[in-house]
Amino acid sequence: MTAVPVELLHAMLASMWRIRAFEERSIELFQAGELPGFLHAQIGQEAVCVGTCSALNDDDYLTSTHRGHGDIIAKGGRLDRMFAELYAKETGYCRGKGGSMHIFDFSLGILGANGIVGAGLPIATGAALASQLRGSQQVAVSFFGDGATNEGAFHEALNMASVWKLPAVFVCQNNEYAESTPRRIQQNIQDIAARAVGYDIPGVVVDGMDVLAVYEVVSEAVARARRGDGPTLVEAKTYRYLGHYVGDPGLYRTKEEVEEAMTRDPLTSFERKLTTAGILSEEHCRTIEAGVRLEVEAAVEFGRTSPEPHESIAFEDVYA
């Protein structure tokens, strides 16, 4: 921890709280009937989003998933435009036409959340190829779930990135479930990182509840990618506290299992580390949390009060 600048540690904590607060607030609004569509919350997985994105430059690329709010926030996504998108308003990232699963911000290298499981991996591979051809030193990171690693797109992307030594980092958010299917009945392997062997690239397991551990592992993978030594598969072992989607009754797992995971909460444990090391006081942590909650509230208000998109834009941005 001593090697990480204090300002970055503060920023990491704030970013993790920003994600938690964004998700908590969006769930409340969804349940109150204010937000249309679907929500897949990332609560519990904040350390993977923030540890990874803290190792990236602003112009590095990122692809995300259906469970992507935290990924986008960690890469610098604007909360006001995100809430506006959830409200399906004109000021949203997709002018209200994409919703939760299609948020992107090219100015931040965010090439898109994606409702198609596994679809972000080949996009990141393509971005990494473009970076290699331009010699621009940009790295492309792809987030995806454990279930996505059973998709052909995962294997094709890793193979191509490996053969061409592309500057890509593949970060699996292994939360042990694909919808209601536990990993033990969808995969025979202990560690998803083992799949890297098939492509002769490094495969690293990391504690996805520990933001500093994720930061360290991804920083190394990013450095390797920038040196021209090719991709890495990172498996971050994490857990989603809530259902697959907001409203999921969650009958496929026990209350005890969820409670056990919550004892390893990534925010609580990071705060404990920071306060024990004398880097932040408990009071300072609460100030950070309170500040972030105000920021989220302002973003909600922006979304709520923004205008509806005009019907004339319905056929814009459509391929025919």
39 binds ligand TPP (CB under 6 A): no
Q: Compute how many other C-beta atoms are within 10 angstroms of the C-beta atom of residue 31.
A: 12
Alpha carbon separation from 91 to 102, 125, 138 (Å, rounded): 15, 30, 29
Closest CA to 172 of 230, 124, 133: 124
Distance CA 242, CA 220 (A): 31
β-bridge partners, 148: none
Binder among 71, 80, 146, 289 for ligand TPP (CB under 6 A) = 146
Binder among 99, 147, 167, 230 for ligand TPP (CB under 6 A) = 147
Binder among 86, 160, 166, 178 for ligand TPP (CB under 6 A) = 178
Give 132 or 238: the residue with its C-beta nearer to ligand TPP: 238
Secondary structure letter of residue 184 according to DSSP? G
Contact stretch for Mg ion (CB under 5 A) within 50-58, 170-178, 190-198, 299-307 = 170-178
Distance CA 122, CA 223 (A): 21
Q: Where are the beta strands (DSSP E) in the chain?
A: 61-63, 140-145, 168-174, 177-178, 181-182, 203-207, 232-237
145 binds Mg ion (CB under 5 A): yes
Contact stretch for ligand TPP (CB under 6 A) within 51-59, 91-99, 145-153, 283-291 = 145-153
Smallest distance from ligand TPP to CB 241, Å: 12
117 interacts with, out of ligand TPP, Mg ion, none, CB within 5 to 8 A per kind: ligand TPP
Footprint (CB under 5 A) of Mg ion, residues 205-224: none
Decide if 74 contacts 17 (C-beta within 8 A).
Answer: no
The set of residues, in sequence order, having a beta carbon less than 8 Å from that of 144 and lying 6+ positions away, is 65, 117, 118, 120, 121, 154, 170, 171, 172, 173
DSSP 268-304: HHHHHHHHHTTSS-HHHHHHHHHHHHHHHHHHHHHHH
Distance CA 35, CA 247 (A): 13
Tokens found for residue 91: 């000021």
Give 114 or 175: the residue with its C-beta nearer to Mg ion: 175
Secondary structure letter of residue 210 according to DSSP? -
Give 137 or 150: the residue with its C-beta nearer to ligand TPP: 150
Give 45 or 219: the residue with its C-beta nearer to Mg ion: 45
202 binds ligand TPP (CB under 6 A): no
Task: Indicate the residue whose CB is closest to ligand TPP.
Answer: 145
Give 137 or 181: the residue with its C-beta nearer to ligand TPP: 181
65 binds Mg ion (CB under 5 A): no
109 binds ligand TPP (CB under 6 A): no
Q: Compute how many other C-beta atoms are within 10 angstroms of the C-beta atom of residue 291.
A: 13
Binder among 73, 117, 124, 300 for ligand TPP (CB under 6 A) = 117
195 binds ligand TPP (CB under 6 A): no
Contact stretch for ligand TPP (CB under 6 A) within 29-37, 177-185, 225-233, 268-276 = 177-185
Q: Which residues are catalytic?
A: 240, 244, 252
237 binds ligand TPP (CB under 6 A): no
148 binds ligand TPP (CB under 6 A): yes
115 binds ligand TPP (CB under 6 A): yes
Closest CA to 245 of 62, 93, 61, 37: 37
Chain positions contacting ligand TPP, by CB under 6 A? 66-67, 115-117, 145-148, 173, 175, 177-179, 244
Chain positions contacting Mg ion, by CB under 5 A? 145-146, 175, 177-178
